[in-house]
Structure 1
Amino acid sequence: MSNMEFANGKILASIADGVGRVVFNQPEKRNAMSVDMWGGMGEALDLFAEDPGVRCVVLQGAGDKAFVSGADISQFEKARSNADAQQEYDRITGAGRIKLANYPKPVIAQIRGFCMGGGLGIAMATDIRIASDDSQFGIPAARLGIAYNFDMVRALVDLVGPAQAHLILMTGDRFPAAEAERFGLVNKVVPVAELEATVAKLAATMAANAPLSLKTNKQTVKAVLRDPADRDLDAIRAAMAACFDSADYREGRRAFMEKRKPAFTGS
């Protein structure tokens, strides 16, 4: 197991048993995302992307109060004081957002406590969201006098539909975990005591599967959600062909016939 720190310790990263883990580590501010934390998250994701031993990534918040409660509002006066400042803020933090949105490996959000605003944006950019039953969700933009960018709103609409997206955005209310599950914001809600084990089991299952298959299936799901003109179907066909030509596919067939667990290598 290896442990790393980024953004002056506000982003923690570790690798164990094929799973890379990123921890948002600002519990005194309910893990609100500072500008530096966006950069640190991007660095950790880059490291995991380049490591063939990392098959799956888990994002979580430090402590028991929040996954990510949103952006660090203490930076708003300087970093997001007007439209021009907001554009610069988006430029600085955009690298981390883009990396997460386009990440090739499976990503799970392990959510406990507050998952609000930009924190919900991070969660929505992951592939699977598992929440504890004491979690709370919301986008309080209307209470701050701001609006969210197209990509985040589109992700929200893709998950919950336009009617629930209007409710979430126009009220700025907090919604309990059970309601978030009903909306489609999260895949599953579990008791607090079961959250860690549930995510660990899910991550281990994904880490044991064929990496090329995981990457290609994720790529295809992402393409389905894009406008037809933005879909690179040639790239998807090439990725599919690589799966069928891979050593892992041969290993998968042999393991099935021999009634044993496959040992995939990602090649």
Structure 2
Amino acid sequence: MSSAMLPDTHALPSPPVPRGQLATDAEALRRYAERAERRLTLLPPRPERDAAQEAQADALRDACRTARHSFLARHAEQVYEVLTEGRARRLRLNPLVREAQARFPGLVPAEARLAEDRDRVQAQKEGHEIDLGVFFGALLRCAVAGTHLMETMLHTAPGSQALLEDFRRTDRLELNSVHVERRGPAAHVTFRNSHCLNAEDNQLIADLESAVDVVLLDDRVRVGVLRGGGVDHPRYAGRRVFSAGINLKDLRNGAISYLDFLLGRELGYVNKLAHGLLPTESGWRVPAAVHKPWVAAVDTFAIGGGMQLLLVVDRVIAEDGAFFSLPAADEGIVPGLGNLRLTRLTGARMARQVLLSGRRLRAGEPGAELVCDEVVPAGELHDAVERAVADLAGPAVAANRAMLALAEEPWSHLRSYLAEFAVVQAQRIYSADVIARVESRWAGA
């Protein structure tokens, strides 16, 4: 189809302005999104478009996002009340999207459109996940809806309860990319993504949330330990590696999920490390969340998401020569909640050096002590971890740890950050510079 035969996007009227009635405004949004979608489907697939066609697609997507943003700016709180039946239902991210698709057509992309994008490399996706960022950003900006959603994501993930029963029976848990073993008062969580230097992918994120749930739910466990397992890379043969951060190969191939990884990671297992787990409705107990101290044992390096974990645990022990980095400027994406949490530990000046200029912190060197409590020779890491477990296993540690979390990261402050992160991260993973970087690395691999 030539550019001349394509529908004129200028014929699409301006996005509807919400008037205040939820049902009326929702119907106007549905009709508008439907018209935009019809025009978009008449265009060739993204890899086959010329510049003019891609400009038309951009205009259609932007117009529809503007309509969704305007609707949610007026009705986000009401929408959440409808989707959760007055907050009587606790819906995690994916079920919440499915409910929105059913009850408010046009508010988020249809499942068929999201599914089409899942099978494409990142450079060829339409970017429908950006609309999910608009949706969740709006919900998180609402004090009531956003807080309820955050609390929902601190509840036990599906399947964790069954895994807990197995763990209590055997003191071991073997997941696809994570191994958990109880040794006395400690549960040792080992990353086993050996083929990619323990980089994070969709599977590892899901497995880590299950593992964190089990550790926090098992009342025999007083302390959790995070450590990377051995890896396959010939440069590190026979060595453990803590984490190489996000799996950039998967990002290039379109296999990093916005819901399950980029947003779900921060609201799920990482937030549980920081703020505990809500196994049931809180009742009278204060604090309601189950907190336990965590130790991170860093072999070789903790890059990106690996370093982000160091910002929420209670004791970091690294082997001599290990390094930590948040290569956000190089990767082009936002390093999770690293921007929020690093400044608290290092101060603003060093945080800018790490986040904006890619400064590495090497264990034992000046400055690194701000994110690392102890540095030991590689052969002594195991014994240092055992000492840390003994130190943190006291009965009052968890309660004081919970109060520290409240003091250091107030819930409203965290919610405000997450609201902006939800949108910005969705935009970044579809930005031209990020796609160019991952394609360049792919070509040079």
Distance in 1 between residues matched to 2:318 and 2:298, nearest whole Å: 4
Counterpart of 2:338 in structure 1: which amino acid? M
* Equivalences, count: 221
**Paired residue secondary structure (2:268):** helix
Residue pairs, 1:40-189, within 5 angstroms: 40-63=207-230, 64-77=239-252, 78-79=254-255, 86=258, 89-93=261-265, 94-103=267-276, 104-149=291-336, 151-179=337-365, 182-189=368-375
Which ranges in structure 2 are unaligned for 5 or more consecutive residues? 1-169, 231-238, 277-290, 415-445
Partner SS state of residue 199, structure 2? coil
Provide the residue aligned with 1:37 in structure 2.
Answer: 204
Letter in 2 for 1:4: L
Distance, in Å, in 2 between the alignment partners of 1:174 and 1:223 is 29
Contact 1:156 1:165 in 2 (8 A): yes
For 2:372 and 2:408, locate their aligned partners in 1 and report how far apart those are by CA, in whole Å: 17
Amino acid in the other structure paired with 1:91: L
TM-score (norm 1): 0.76
Q: Is the Cα contact below 8 Å between 1:70 and 1:117 reproduced in 2? A: yes
User: Percentage identity across aligned positions?
Assistant: 25
Q: Distance in 1 between matches of 2:392 and 2:324?
A: 26
* Bigger mean CA offset, 105-114 vs 27-36: 27-36
Q: Distance in 2 between matches of 1:204 and 1:227?
A: 29
1:216 matched residue in structure 2: 399
TM-score (norm 2): 0.47
Higher mean C-alpha displacement, 137-146 vs 105-114? 137-146
C-alpha contact 1:111 1:135 (8 A) present in aligned 2 = yes
Q: Decide which of 370, 388, 399 is 1:202's aligned counterpart.
A: 388
The aligned counterpart of 2:129 is none
Give the corresponding residue for 1:4. Answer: 173
**Deviation string for 1:153-179 (max 9, x for gaps)?**
121111111000011112224332123
User: Relative to total residues, which structure has the larger strand share, 1 or 2?
Assistant: 1
Question: Is the contact between residue 320 and residue 375 of structure 2 (CA under 8 Å) also seen in structure 1?
Answer: yes
Q: Deviations over 1:88-136 (max 9, x none)?
A: 6423434222222213101000111110111101121111111111211
8 Å contact from structure 2 (residues 199, 243) kept in 1? yes
Larger radius of gyration: 2
RMSD: 2.2
- Counterparts in 2 of 1:130 and 1:98: CA distance versus 1, 3 Å: same
User: Which amino acid in the other structure matches residue 43 of structure 1?
Assistant: S
